[in-house]
């Protein structure tokens, strides 16, 4: 015999977590969407202005990458929350696949952002003349 006091019924827990997951994933999707629209506006504006602004191009890509990473962080938070209630193995498998994709992408995006930032900083600090050993300002 087990004595169980149901302070929080499982169905309520599922509902609450489902709502939270939706909210968090929506926030992540919204961040990604806003980042994409912002980057689109910037690319089109830069494209209309003309060529010769490659540094600006890299900066826009860097910002888009940051938006993607931020949105991914939210979506990963939703995945973590979803593990609290995973009723079937099929759902756990799907969750694992999605979380693996998001984690891998988060890692690669982080690396790409670091590389892009390093390239931009190198472009800013290295003057065209000889002996360019200036430190980042």
Partner 1 sequence: MNGWLQMAAVLITALGLVAAAAAWRLTHTVRGGLAVLLDFLTAAGLIRLAGEPSWGSVMLAAAVIALRKLLGASLHVSRPNQTTRGGARPVSAGR
> CB of residue 110 vs partner 1: minimum separation in angstroms?
4
What lies within 8 Å, CB to CB, of 12 at 6+ separation is: none
- Selected from 15, 19, 47, 92, the binder of partner 1 by CB under 8 A is 47
Q: How far apart are CA 87 and CA 111, in angstroms?
A: 35
Judged by CB under 8 A, the chain residues 67 through 106 that form the site for partner 1 are: 67-68, 71-72, 75, 78, 94, 97-98, 101-102, 104-105
C-alpha separations of 86 from 15, 89, 92, 121, 123 in Å: 12, 8, 6, 45, 49
The answer to whether the beta carbons of residues 108 and 53 sit under 8 Å apart is no
Q: Is 34 helix (H, G, I), strand (E, B) or coil?
A: helix
Binding site for partner 1 (CB under 8 A): 22, 25-26, 28-29, 32-33, 35-37, 39-40, 43-44, 46-48, 50-51, 53-54, 56-57, 61, 64-65, 67-68, 71-72, 75, 78, 94, 97-98, 101-102, 104-105, 107-108, 110-112, 114-115, 118-119, 122, 126, 132-133
């Amino acid at each position: 015999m087990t004595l169980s006091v149901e302070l929080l019924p499982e169905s309520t827990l599922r509902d609450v977590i489902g709502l939270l997951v939706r909210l968090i994933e929506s926030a992540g999707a919204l961040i990604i969407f806003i980042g994409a629209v912002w980057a689109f506006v910037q690319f089109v504006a830069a494209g209309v202005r003309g060529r010769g602004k490659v540094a600006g191009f890299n900066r826009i890509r860097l910002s888009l990458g940051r938006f993607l990473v931020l949105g991914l962080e939210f979506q990963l938070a939703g995945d973590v929350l979803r593990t609290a209630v995973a009723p079937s193995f099929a759902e756990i498998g799907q969750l694992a696949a999605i979380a693996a994709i998001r984690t891998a992408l988060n890692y690669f995006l982080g690396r790409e952002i670091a590389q892009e930032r390093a390239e931009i900083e190198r472009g800013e600090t290295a003057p065209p003349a000889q002996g360019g050993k200036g430190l980042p300002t």
